[in-house]
A and B are shown apart, each in its own frame.
Chain A
Amino acid sequence: MSPALFAPAAEIRQVEPAALETTAQDCLTQGMRFLCAWHDWEDDLCVLRYLLSRPGNRQFLLLELRGHRQLPSLARSVPLLGWYEREMQELGGVTFTDHPEPYPLVIHEGYRIDSPPLGPEAESGQMHGAYAPPTMPELRNDQVQDLYWGPVRADFVETGEFHFSYIGEAILHYHPRLFYKHRGLEKRFVGLRPEQAVFLAERVSGVGSVCHALAYCQAVEAAWGIEVPTRAQLLRVILAELERLYNHFHYFGLLAKTTTLKVASAEGLLLEERVKQLNGRLSGSRFLRSLLCVGGLRRDIAAEHLGRELEPLIYEADAYLQALHSTASHLDRLMGTGVLPRQAAFDQGATGPVARASGLDRDLRRDHPYAAYGKLRFNVPVREKGDAMARAEVRAESLREAFALIVQAAGRLKAGPIRTEFTVPVGEQAGLGWTESPRGSLLYAVRIRDGRLQRVKIKSPSFSNWRVFPLTVHDTNMMDYAINEASFGLTIAGCDR
Chain B
Amino acid sequence: MPFWTWAGIKAGRASTQWPARGPDGQEGVLGMPRWQPEACQNDCQRCAESCPTQAIQRRGENIVIDYARCIVCQSCVESCPEGALQSSGDWAFAVRRREDLQWQAAVESEDGRMLQQKIAQSLRRSLHIKHVDAGSCNGCESEIAALDNPFYNLHRLGIFFTPSPRFADLLLVTGPVTTTMRDPLLATWEAMPEPRLVLAVGTCAVSGAPMDAGYAGGTGLDGLLPVDVWLPGCPPNPAALIHALLLLLARQPQRVQGGRYVD
Partners in one complex: yes
Contact of B178 among A181, A282, A285 (CB under 8 A): A181
Could you say which residues of chain A place their CB within 8 Å of the CB of B74? 284, 290
Could you say which residues of chain B place their CB within 8 Å of the CB of A157? 133, 141
Beta-carbon contacts under 8 Å, B116-167 to A: 131-146, 148-152, 161, 163-165
Given known contacts A323-B3, A493-B136, is B214 in contact with A151 (CB within 8 Å)?
no
Beta-carbon contacts under 8 Å, A280-295 to B: 280-287, 289-290
- Chain A nearest Cβ from B244, distance in angstroms: 15
A298 close to chain B: CB less than 8 A? yes
Could you say which residues of chain B place their CB within 8 Å of the CB of A183? 135, 176, 178, 211, 214, 216-217
Given known contacts A157-B141, A181-B135, A281-B28, is B188 in contact with A203 (CB within 8 Å)?
no
In whole angstroms, what is the CA distance A185 to B135 when docked?
12
- Chain B nearest Cβ from A332, distance in angstroms: 12
B184 close to chain A: CB less than 8 A? yes
B179-199 CB mask vs A (1 if < 8 Å, else 0) is 111011101100000000000
- Please tell me if the beta carbons of A263 and B5 are within 8 angstroms of each other in the complex: yes
In whole angstroms, what is the CA distance A267 to B149 when docked?
8
B73 close to chain A: CB less than 8 A? yes
- Chain B nearest Cβ from A81, distance in angstroms: 23
Could you say which residues of chain B place their CB within 8 Å of the CB of A155? 131, 161, 163
- Please tell me if the beta carbons of B138 and A493 are within 8 angstroms of each other in the complex: yes
- Chain A nearest Cβ from B216, distance in angstroms: 4
In whole angstroms, what is the CA distance A352 to B213 when docked?
32
- Please tell me if the beta carbons of B1 and A261 are within 8 angstroms of each other in the complex: yes
A61 close to chain B: CB less than 8 A? no
Contact of A323 among B7, B132, B146 (CB under 8 A): B7
In whole angstroms, what is the CA distance A285 to B138 when docked?
15
**Residue of B138, B163, B234 with highest tally of chain A CB at under 10 A:** B138
A179 close to chain B: CB less than 8 A? yes
Beta-carbon contacts under 8 Å, B210-229 to A: 210-211, 213-217
- Chain A nearest Cβ from B150, distance in angstroms: 5
A231-274 CB mask vs B (1 if < 8 Å, else 0) is 00000000000000000001001000000011110110110110
B258 close to chain A: CB less than 8 A? no
Interface SS majority for chain B: loop
Could you say which residues of chain B place their CB within 8 Å of the CB of A286? 29, 143, 237
- Please tell me if the beta carbons of A126 and B179 are within 8 angstroms of each other in the complex: yes
A143-170 CB mask vs B (1 if < 8 Å, else 0) is 0000000011111111100000000000
Given known contacts A183-B216, A184-B215, A206-B140, is B4 in contact with A264 (CB within 8 Å)?
yes
- Please tell me if the beta carbons of A276 and B4 are within 8 angstroms of each other in the complex: no
Contact of A207 among B7, B131, B142, B176 (CB under 8 A): B142
Output the nearest chain A residue to B174 by Cβ-Cβ distance. A156
Contact of A280 among B27, B188, B211 (CB under 8 A): B27
A162-203 CB mask vs B (1 if < 8 Å, else 0) is 000000000000000001111111011000000011011001
A456 close to chain B: CB less than 8 A? no
Stretch at the interface among A11-19, A127-135, A333-341, A466-474: A127-135
Beta-carbon contacts under 8 Å, B82-126 to A: 87
| Residues of B within 8 A of A (CB-CB), count | 69
- Please tell me if the beta carbons of B211 and A188 are within 8 angstroms of each other in the complex: yes
Given known contacts A188-B211, A493-B137, is B179 in contact with A111 (CB within 8 Å)?
yes
- Please tell me if the beta carbons of A180 and B184 are within 8 angstroms of each other in the complex: yes
- Chain A nearest Cβ from B56, distance in angstroms: 14
Output the nearest chain A residue to B134 by Cβ-Cβ distance. A159
B25 close to chain A: CB less than 8 A? yes
- Chain A nearest Cβ from B48, distance in angstroms: 13
- Please tell me if the beta carbons of B52 and A284 are within 8 angstroms of each other in the complex: no
Could you say which residues of chain B place their CB within 8 Å of the CB of A289? 72-73, 234
Output the nearest chain B residue to A281 by Cβ-Cβ distance. B28
- Please tell me if the beta carbons of A272 and B138 are within 8 angstroms of each other in the complex: no
- Please tell me if the beta carbons of B181 and A187 are within 8 angstroms of each other in the complex: no
- Please tell me if the beta carbons of A159 and B133 are within 8 angstroms of each other in the complex: yes
- Chain A nearest Cβ from B187, distance in angstroms: 8
- Please tell me if the beta carbons of A277 and B142 are within 8 angstroms of each other in the complex: no
- Please tell me if the beta carbons of A205 and B138 are within 8 angstroms of each other in the complex: yes
A124 close to chain B: CB less than 8 A? yes
Could you say which residues of chain A place their CB within 8 Å of the CB of B164? 154
In whole angstroms, what is the CA distance A425 to B97 when docked?
46
A327 close to chain B: CB less than 8 A? yes
Could you say which residues of chain B place their CB within 8 Å of the CB of A128? 179
Output the nearest chain A residue to B175 by Cβ-Cβ distance. A181
B22 close to chain A: CB less than 8 A? no
Beta-carbon contacts under 8 Å, A447-468 to B: none
A45 close to chain B: CB less than 8 A? no
Output the nearest chain B residue to A125 by Cβ-Cβ distance. B215
Could you say which residues of chain B place their CB within 8 Å of the CB of A207? 138-139, 142
In whole angstroms, what is the CA distance A183 to B163 when docked?
25
B71 close to chain A: CB less than 8 A? yes
B11 close to chain A: CB less than 8 A? yes
- Please tell me if the beta carbons of B216 and A285 are within 8 angstroms of each other in the complex: no
Beta-carbon contacts under 8 Å, A110-143 to B: 111, 113, 117, 124-131
Q: Could you name 24 residue pairs across A and B whose Cβ atoms are closer than 8 Å?
A: A111-B180, A113-B215, A117-B215, A125-B215, A126-B215, A128-B179, A152-B165, A152-B188, A154-B163, A179-B180, A182-B216, A183-B178, A184-B215, A203-B234, A206-B139, A207-B138, A263-B11, A269-B149, A273-B149, A273-B152, A280-B28, A286-B29, A327-B3, A494-B138
Question: With A187-B214, A262-B8 given, can you name 7 additional A-B contacts, CB distance below 8 Å?
Answer: A180-B184, A188-B213, A203-B210, A205-B138, A269-B150, A287-B139, A289-B72
Chain B residues near A (Cβ < 8 Å) = 1, 3-5, 7-8, 11, 14, 25-30, 50, 52, 71-75, 78, 87, 131-146, 148-152, 161, 163-165, 175-176, 178-181, 183-185, 187-188, 210-211, 213-217, 234-235, 237
Chain A residues near B (Cβ < 8 Å) = 108, 111, 113, 117, 124-131, 151-159, 179-185, 187-188, 196-197, 199-200, 203-207, 209, 250, 253, 261-264, 266-267, 269-270, 272-273, 276-277, 280-287, 289-290, 298, 323, 327, 329, 491-494, 496
Listed from nearest, the 9 A-B pairs whose CB atoms lie closest are A206-B139, A154-B163, A184-B214, A263-B8, A284-B30, A269-B149, A281-B28, A493-B138, A280-B29
